[in-house]
Amino acid sequence: MGSNRAGAVKTALAYTGGTAGKADASKTPIVIGWMNQDSGGASAVPWYSESVRTAVKFLNDELGGIDGHPLKLKECIVGTDPEQGQACAQRFLNDDAIKVMFAGEASGAQASFMAGIGNSNKPFVGLSPLAPDEAKLKNAFFLRPGFLALGAQVTYMRDYAKVKSVSNINLDTPELRGFAEVYTHIFKAGGINLHTAFLKPDAPDALAPLVAGKVQQSEGIENNAGTAQACITAYKALKQLGSADKPTLAFPGCLDPSVKKTLGDYPKGWTYFQEYQSVNRPDPTGQVGTFLYALNKYAPTQVANVKDQFGAPAAFGGVLTIAKWLREKGPDNISLATFKEAADSDPGPLFLGQPKVSFGKQPYPALAGLGNRFFTYLGDGKWKDATDGKWVYPIPGTTF
């Protein structure tokens, strides 16, 4: 699934409202501060940064920048140290050249970063929140709901998979153990009994925890063990327990290329939830083709490392969304107020993202929307739309 240059540029310009051609190097750049965790173990998401850099190059080289002004990134790349997040926040707030702050994810540093920039007078765009309070900040605009749309998974399991009991496979960490009660409560609110299987991140096998988590008795499986190795270990244990053919909803991190390499293919029959339009799935908009065109042109050595990774299209689309909102009020009139006006008045869809935008709604006014898409892997590179093209939303009572 790809796109030629003409089609890619046409699709992008239809969204951003720009003019084809190069940005004017003589005009003052519009600077965005970019924070992301590019290293630091399993929680690192370097493909977010690669997608963002690709989008900036594409915007400046072929979409005219922002009314002719080049878009420029000032990066603050972190690991897992909270002090790094705090330092990035101070750097972004103290740099008058930075007009908009943008972030991917940083499991160890995001909380301190958000505490530093939250409710400041600079607009902040995030890919997804890591805590409920982040989605309430007055200067924040999150493009994906992340875990706050857990209720959409309940909707899918109840209305599409038709199950009444689920075993949730999760990593055994202090944070996720504390989160288990929330999962149980939300699934119960949707009429589904939930049991949890805690899998050690470095466990050589998962038989004992999966038996304890009642996977054999449950009608369906949720695999939220988000590292590639944990996905592999969980799948092997499910096969041994005769539960591999049950309706299984999996975290998209299980689509890491290493899973396919180790198992010979991705697990057949697993369904994946996503809050954005991903590659290798049905795409009526042509936006996936734009993403792949830009990636192949501007980051050809990184295509294999980026295109199938969780959230990469959303990071790319985030740059074009920021460009659209900045253009709406003009590059010489950038403030939190004007940025908020542009974002709040955008009905959607976002580029490669939520079909309907509804900033300002309680209890999470900083969320663009709570929609999820679901796709089932059939094997040999083939996919099936699991909800007939529909975005799925949380059942009332299943939000945090």
Q: How does pLDDT run across 307-353, given as a tens digit for each residue?
A: 888 899 999 999 999 999 999 999 999 999 999 999 999 999 999 99
Q: Please give the distance of CA 360 from its chain centroid, rounded to a whole number.
A: 20
Q: How does pLDDT run across 7-51, given as a tens digit for each residue?
A: 999 999 999 999 999 999 999 999 999 999 998 777 789 999 999
5-145+286-344 architecture in CATH?
Answer: 3-Layer(aba) Sandwich (3.40)
Helix, strand, coil % over all residues of the chain, rounded to 5: 40, 20, 40
Has residue 2 got a pLDDT over 70? no
Residue ranges covered by each domain of the chain: 5-145+286-344, 149-274+373-385
Check residue 9 and give its pLDDT: 97
**5-145+286-344 shares its CATH topology with 149-274+373-385:** yes
Check residue 226 and give its pLDDT: 72
> How many of the other CB atoms lie within 10 Å of CB of 270?
21
Residues 158-165: what's their mean pLDDT? Answer: 98
CATH number of 149-274+373-385: 3.40.50.2300
Residues 388-400: what's their mean pLDDT? Answer: 90
Q: How does pLDDT run across 79-120, given as a tens digit for each residue?
A: 989 999 999 999 999 999 999 999 999 888 999 999 999 999
Check residue 71 and give its pLDDT: 98
Check residue 378 and give its pLDDT: 96
Query: Quick one: which H or E segment has residue 233?
Result: helix 228-240
Q: How does pLDDT run across 366-384, given as a tens digit for each residue?
A: 999 999 999 999 999 999 9
| Token code pair at residue 387 | 């909800």
Has residue 4 got a pLDDT over 70? yes
**187 φ/ψ angles, rounded to the nearest 5 degrees:** -65, -40
| Dist. CA 163–CA 156, nearest whole Å | 9
Check residue 78 and give its pLDDT: 95
| Dist. CA 67–CA 207, nearest whole Å | 58
Task: Label residue 3 by pLDDT band (50, 70, 90).
Answer: low
- Angle in degrees, CA 51, 56, 58, rounded to 5: 95
Q: How does pLDDT run across 131-161, given as a tens digit for each residue?
A: 899 999 999 999 999 989 999 999 999 999 9
